[in-house]
Structure formats: structure tokens, C-alpha cells
Amino acid sequence: MKLNFVEKLLGSGFYTGFIPFASGTFGSLAALIIYAIPGFEKSEVLIPLIILFTLYGINIGNKFEDVYGKDPSECTIDEVVGMWISLLFLPKILWISLTAFFLWRLLDIIKPYPARQFEKFAGGLGIMADDVAAAIYTLIILHLFLYILA
């Protein structure tokens, strides 16, 4: 099986998956840079893209596994989606976005229960599901933190 240009571009989180170290962190950083585009934070932009990239990520994750093996580091579309979920409905302020980035990376790495169990799902679903779960944790923690601060 071979991946075409668009599959490689999107599946690898805009080629961040091919960076030989910390590809997930670079995929998340790419998502954060895209988020910085004016208007991108609007829920009517972000939510459809999260849904689209999640569904595409499940599909393309299957192909990445066929080419590179189980949950390959080359596939970072899951980090892109996770970063975007982590930023949903938050004020677009630099310190909040950076806090979301670092908290998201931490939770993606440690994968609190049940996120780690979702990795066991087959193929692209397993690639995407654990990151979506960790991103939802990030989102909840950040919203609670900002609520307490308010």
C-alpha cells in the first residue's frame, strides 16, 4: 500500500510525523499555529474541522498502520485533532493557548484512564480514540481552571 500526497500531508500532521523526534509534539505545535489564524477559534470553524479530521484520521490511520506498523509515530493527525479539541471554547489568549498545549502534551503522554485502554482499539480508531479522550480531559481541566479563576 502506498500513501498519496494528501494522505501523507494530512495523516502526518502536515509532515510533522516525519520529524525524527517528538513528532507528536511537533504535530500539536502545527495545530496550535493553525489555531492562531484569525477566526479559526470560532466553534463554527473548529468543530467541523475536528469532526472531519477525526473521521479522516480513523481512515488514514488504517493506511498509516499498513505502511509503518502499529500506531506509527509518522501518523500525527491524532495530535492535531487533540490540540484543537483542547482549545475548544477557550478564550484565544496566548497564555491560555500555551497552557492548553503543555497540558495536552502531558495528558497525551500519560494517557489517564480510560484513554490508555482506547489505544487497544484496532487500526485508525485506536490511533485517534486515546488522543480524543486525553484532549477531552485537557478541555475539562482548562475550563474548570478558568471557571475557578473567574
The pLDDT tens digits of the residues spanning 99-134 come to 999 999 999 999 999 999 998 999 999 999 999 999
Q: Is residue 78 part of a domain?
A: yes
pLDDT level of residue 1 (50, 70, 90 thresholds)? confident
Q: Is residue 20 part of a domain?
A: no
What confidence tens digit (pLDDT) does each residue in 47-106 have? 999 999 999 999 999 999 999 999 999 999 999 999 999 999 999 999 999 999 999 999
SS3 56: helix
Which residue type does 46 have?
L
Q: Is residue 33 part of a domain?
A: no
Q: Is residue 31 part of a domain?
A: no
Which residue type does 116 have?
R
Q: Is residue 85 part of a domain?
A: yes
Which pTM value belongs to this model? 0.96
Overall domain count for the chain: 1
Q: Write out the residue range of the structural domain in which residue 116 sits.
A: 43-149
Which pLDDT belongs to residue 44?
A: 98
Read off the C-alpha cell for 58. 480513523
Q: Is residue 70 part of a domain?
A: yes
The whole-angstrom separation of Cα 35 and Cα 66 is: 30
What does the DSSP 8-state code read for residue 21?
S
Q: Is residue 26 part of a domain?
A: no
What confidence tens digit (pLDDT) does each residue in 25-64 have? 999 999 999 999 999 999 999 999 999 999 999 999 999 9
Q: Is residue 76 part of a domain?
A: yes
